[in-house]
Amino acid sequence: QTREKGIVTTEDLVFLLSKIQLNSNSKREFDFEEIKAKGLKVFIEEIEGEILKLALSKNEDKVRKTLSDLKISNNSYYRILEKIKIQENQHA
């Protein structure tokens, strides 16, 4: 269960990922070698970004609904969004 302060822990992500299928066509497979290469922090940030994009898509880009569904704060939302932008710029 996520905490009310908008802080997502590793335990929260493990719980959420065990319940969430990222899209109807595929499940996220965890590649331990990928995790080792990136480091857990970067890997988790990428997963956060994927989940946020999925939630926004399912909620027709309605931010308040997404915040409510994911039980995150505005600060957490914008922190994840900023990291998504940084990751996308690094891959461009």
Q: How far apart are CA 50 and CA 84, in angstroms?
A: 9
pLDDT of residue 14: 66
**What was the pLDDT predicted at 15?**
64
Give residue-wise pLDDT tens across range 23-75.
Answer: 445 555 778 888 899 899 888 988 899 999 999 999 999 999 999 999 999 99
